[in-house]
Structure 1
Amino acid sequence: MKKHITLLLLIFTISVSKAQNKINWLSFEEGIKLLKENPKPLLIDVYTDWCGYCKKMDIETYSNQTIIKAINDNFYAIKLNGEEKKDITFKDYTFKFKAQGRRGFHELPAALMNGKLSYPTTIFLTESAEVLQSIPGYLDKKVFEKIVAYFSSENYKNTKWEEFDKNFKSNL
């Protein structure tokens, strides 16, 4: 019996450890549902399947343990495909895929990015689902760490970015 309990504890410890080694990505719908139940800011990674810099950001930035912890502790993290085919309802409006050119785009990420389609784009939303900032382009782990710290600690409310950036101490 004691061996079984020890084995179960070991399996549980390994499971918890592995869960903390990656970002808890959610769908947009899951993130909004959790936001309503327990308000917390949102971090949205807008990507496409064909985007090389999106994949590079997954491998080099989103795999860093400091960044994983900061995101999981402070945000609901959402992966949102810029070319998503299914409808998504948000704030009483149903956003749809729009065929355009060779690929097309989804209206929701386009709206969150003010029509400036760029992949990857990182979007920060408040606890009331209002857009704080949309940051287009690849972000390496050093830059991303600062940005996540700025928005997770709500420094954006009373500290200008330049001042925050100048005084930031990295944990990497």
Structure 2
Amino acid sequence: MVFLQPEIQHIIQTIKLTGDFFLLNGTYKKRNSMFKKIVWSLLLFTGVLLNAQSTGINFQKIDLEAAKKIAAKENKLIFIDLYTTWCGPCKLMAKNTFTDPQIGEMFNKNFVNLAIDAEKEGVKLAKEFKVVNYPSFLFLDPQGKLVQYDFGYYNPEQFLEVGASVVRKKMSQPSKTIEQVKGKMIGDKIENFNAKDHLGNTFSLSKENKKLVVVFIRGQWCPFCNKYIETLQNLAPELKSKNARLVIISPEKPEFIEKTINKTKTEYTVLYDEGYKIAEAFDVLYTPDSETLNFYNSKLKDDFAKSRSDNSGRLPVSATFILNGDKEITWRHFDPDYKNRASIEDILKNLE
């Protein structure tokens, strides 16, 4: 949001060039060198002013779903200014606080920023988070879950601390190590998730009425994953007879999933786990140690660094789960050693 002083707005509106003359306060006057200097000075001053004020928060004109994708990709949180047009403190925040350079620097670096009218496009959002005070500030994670809530007027110094407290919360939640992930257990129910395959088709867990075999892979760069997918092709006839479907979950973007499909010739559905939300739901997500990460980054380069939704280096344990029609886990194979995978015989036996 850019606010110009009324005096500057008035000058800009009253100056109009017309051939060799200009209109100033309703009177035509002939241009001269002094006039040109005045105009150029005004333009320069306005440009400097605009540039200085543009260093505030960059509110993006996108919806929440698009913000989630950006947040997941850039490893950021989401900040939502939920305002109303009649709210005085909302206008003061927009004028005094959101335009502050320090606020802009910190919020643009750490958040995907949205400004949403609570009485228009934000009605559903206000209801979901039970918002009754304005302005309200929602700080969400890339999955849309609430990290922190605040409301009311804050000056720049105060709001800088609000943003910093949210960032500290994010930093205080370290990723799990390979030793800490345990995987969801038999009897656990998996909440609904939606994900797209490499063709852009949407898979929704809640719409599946078959038994599901969910297989996690690390990526197309992993020879053990590729070999395992090839082996799983032998399951296809048996899956059909048992009214079951096998779905492969990959942390890699669609163009890299294409490589998986080309290498393995698989006909199974391979889903892009954007933001690792599926791996988190099954508790198989971990961050490799620094030595392993350095090795992957140096040896695999872009196949590792650019294939996933962020630069965290996180990976899923190569686990396999069977879900019944109620989305409960009835069997699992969970081994932190990526070389050990569920056997075809075990999968078939546990689909009975």
- Smaller-chain TM-score bracket: 0.5 to 0.7
Max Rg structure: 2
Query: Shift of the alpha carbon at 1:138?
Result: 1.2
Tell me the distance in 1 between the aligned counterparts of 2:92 and 2:168: 26
Which consecutive unaligned segments of at least 5 residues does structure 1 have? 1-13, 86-104, 159-172
Does residue 63 of structure 2 align to residue 28 of structure 1? yes
Tell me the distance in 2 between the aligned counterparts of 1:79 and 1:156: 25
Tell me the distance in 2 between the aligned counterparts of 1:58 and 1:128: 26
Alignment partner, residue 24 of structure 2: none
Query: Shift of the alpha carbon at 1:18?
Result: 6.3
Map 1:92-111; keep pairs closer than 5 Å.
106-111=123-128
SS state at 1:55 partner: helix
Query: Shift of the alpha carbon at 1:53?
Result: 0.7
Tell me the distance in 2 between the aligned counterparts of 1:38 and 1:82: 26
Tell me the distance in 2 between the aligned counterparts of 1:19 and 1:61: 11
Query: Shift of the alpha carbon at 1:21?
Result: 1.4
Larger relative contact order (CA 8 Å, sep ≥ 6): 1
> Could you tell me whether the CA contact under 8 Å between 1:44 and 1:123 is conserved in 2?
yes
Map 1:1-172; keep pairs closer than 5 Å.
21-26=55-60, 27-29=62-64, 30-85=66-121, 106-112=123-129, 115-154=130-169, 157=172
Query: Shift of the alpha carbon at 1:49?
Result: 1.2
Tell me the distance in 1 between the aligned counterparts of 2:120 and 2:163: 25
> Could you tell me whether the CA contact under 8 Å between 2:59 and 2:114 is conserved in 1?
yes
Tell me the distance in 2 between the aligned counterparts of 1:128 and 1:40: 11
Tell me the distance in 2 between the aligned counterparts of 1:156 and 1:140: 25
Tell me the distance in 1 between the aligned counterparts of 2:118 and 2:151: 13
Decide whether aligned partners of structure 1 residues 52 and 22 sit closer, same or farther in structure 2, where only a CA change above 3 A counts. same
Tell me the distance in 2 between the aligned counterparts of 1:143 and 1:36: 27
Tell me the distance in 1 between the aligned counterparts of 2:104 and 2:150: 18
Tell me the distance in 2 between the aligned counterparts of 1:38 and 1:79: 19
Tell me the distance in 2 between the aligned counterparts of 1:148 and 1:124: 9
When normalised by structure 2's length, the TM-score is 0.32
Tell me the distance in 2 between the aligned counterparts of 1:156 and 1:138: 26
Tell me the distance in 2 between the aligned counterparts of 1:133 and 1:116: 13
Tell me the distance in 1 between the aligned counterparts of 2:75 and 2:63: 15
Number of residues of Structure 1 aligned to a counterpart in Structure 2: 122
Query: Shift of the alpha carbon at 1:37?
Result: 3.8
Query: Shift of the alpha carbon at 1:156?
Result: 7.3
Query: Shift of the alpha carbon at 1:60?
Result: 0.9
When normalised by structure 1's length, the TM-score is 0.61
Identity of aligned residues (%): 25
**Can you list the C-alpha shifts for 1:89-132, whole angstroms capped at 9, x where unaligned?**
xxxxxxxxxxxxxxxx71212212xx231110111112332101
> Could you tell me whether the CA contact under 8 Å between 1:45 and 1:122 is conserved in 2?
yes
Tell me the distance in 1 between the aligned counterparts of 2:123 and 2:144: 18
Tell me the distance in 2 between the aligned counterparts of 1:83 and 1:25: 18
Deviant stretches of 4+, over 3 Å: 17-20, 36-39, 153-158
Which consecutive unaligned segments of at least 5 residues does structure 2 have? 1-47, 174-352
SS state at 1:119 partner: coil
> Could you tell me whether the CA contact under 8 Å between 2:81 and 2:136 is conserved in 1?
yes
SS state at 2:120 partner: coil
